[in-house]
Amino acid sequence: MAPSSPSSSVQQAKEALGSRLREIRKDSGMTARALAAAAGWHESKTSRIENGRTPPSDADIRVWTRLCDAEDQTADLIATVRGIEGMYVEWRRLERGGLRQVQQSVLPLFERTRRFRFYQSWVIPGLLQTPDYTRAVLNTVVALRDAPDDVDAAVAVRMERQRVLRSGHQGFAMLVEEWVLRTVIGDARIMSGQLGHLIAVASQPSVSLGVIPMGTERGNAWPAESFSLFDDVRASVELVSANLTVTQPREVAEYVRTFKELSSIAVYGANARKLITAAIDALG
């Protein structure tokens, strides 16, 4: 079964923060009405914050903790608010400073992660892409989202990032749907080169490549949005309009379980190579 929807993940985080603020208020002995009166805002605002309907600002948190005699929790609560704000980030906002900057921003995460798990239902995973394929993908991003056109610089950064495949102390489990192999990105020449590269890189000892064949009985392993797992501490989810970062352990565990279920219906080794070769042959 697929993880809960991205929008529900963000909402659950807001509700958890609201519950925490409610507990702080109750521990102080204040009613919601008294807190609102002391803060100088409408009573409904307190209710909206505690029920996760209205996100508190940094100033709201400072007022709340001061009135509830919990100022020792101010910094942690503000960090939580900002973390929720960063969970769901629109691609247009991420790409405002250029595609190269987006590629560079994840380098520290890739360098410190030891176990990578990627599931792709859209395109070939970035770490396994050729320069031409990456360029074709990013050119589409520029066209569709009106992002700054620094594609060549972004391609160079992504190719440099692939050095983690040769680190010797990191492991990579990759899953792709067969239709990803059949989806022509760029043109037939680019796609053929990409699929040939996929066969080559999958032979590296640090890389496990699984392909989920079309027509496979899915069971509990339903197709999902593309996502990446970094160790067992973070999931990054690719949506059409935004990127979702998940760090709540219970939710990360849902993605870990989903990856395991998808892995169970994939084929590997010679059987995966047959599917890739068939996709190359289909290009003519």
Predicted confidence at residue 91, as pLDDT, reads: 45
We report the CATH number of the domain holding residue 11 as 1.10.260.40
Three-state DSSP at 126 gives: helix
**Counted domains in the chain:** 2
Given a cut of 90, whether residue 173 has pLDDT beyond it is yes
Domain enclosing residue 80, as ranges:
6-87
Q: Please answer whether residues 15 and 51 qualify as being in contact, where contact means their C-beta atoms are separated by less than 8 angstroms.
A: yes
Average the pLDDT over each of 6-15, 76-85, 144-153, 171-180 and give the range with the smallest value.
Answer: 6-15
CA 107 to chain centre: 14
Q: What are phi and psi of 117, to 5 degrees?
A: -135, 120
Predicted confidence at residue 106, as pLDDT, reads: 78
Average pLDDT over residues 141-169: 85
Separation CA 120–CA 31 (nearest Å):
49
Given a cut of 60, whether residue 133 has pLDDT beyond it is yes
Residue 62 falls within a domain, yes or no? yes
The pLDDT tens digits for 51-101 are 988 888 889 999 999 999 999 989 888 877 776 666 555 445 555 666 677
Q: Final residue of a domain: which of 29, 62, 87?
A: 87
Average pLDDT over residues 150-174: 91
Three-state DSSP at 202 gives: coil
The pLDDT tens digits for 224-265 are 889 999 999 888 887 654 567 777 777 888 999 999 999 999
Predicted confidence at residue 102, as pLDDT, reads: 67
Instruction: Spell out a b/e string for 253-273, using b for 16 or more CB atoms within 10 Å of the CB, else e.
Output: ebbbebbebbbebbbeeeebb
CA 18 to chain centre: 24
| Distance set, CA 80 to CA 61, 86, 173, 221 (Å) | 11, 10, 31, 32
Residue 93 falls within a domain, yes or no? no
Let me know whether 248 and 153 are in one domain. yes
Separation CA 247–CA 268 (nearest Å):
29
Separation CA 80–CA 69 (nearest Å):
19
Separation CA 213–CA 233 (nearest Å):
29
Predicted confidence at residue 12, as pLDDT, reads: 73
* Residue 169 burial (10 A CB sphere; 0-12, 13-18, 19+): exposed
Average the pLDDT over each of 84-88, 123-127, 177-181, 194-198 and give the range with the smallest value.
Answer: 84-88
Let me know whether 52 and 115 are in one domain. no
Separation CA 196–CA 277 (nearest Å):
8
**105 confidence band (pLDDT: 50, 70, 90):** confident
Residue 92 falls within a domain, yes or no? no
The pLDDT tens digits for 183-235 are 999 999 999 999 999 999 999 999 999 999 999 998 888 888 899 999 998 88
Let me know whether 107 and 76 are in one domain. no
Let me know whether 110 and 30 are in one domain. no
Residue 199 falls within a domain, yes or no? yes
Given a cut of 70, whether residue 39 has pLDDT beyond it is yes
Residue 240 falls within a domain, yes or no? yes
Q: Tell how strand 234-238 and strand 242-246 pair up.
A: antiparallel
Residue 185 burial (CB count, 10 A): 20
Q: Tell how strand 207-212 and strand 171-177 pair up.
A: parallel
Let me know whether 230 and 157 are in one domain. yes
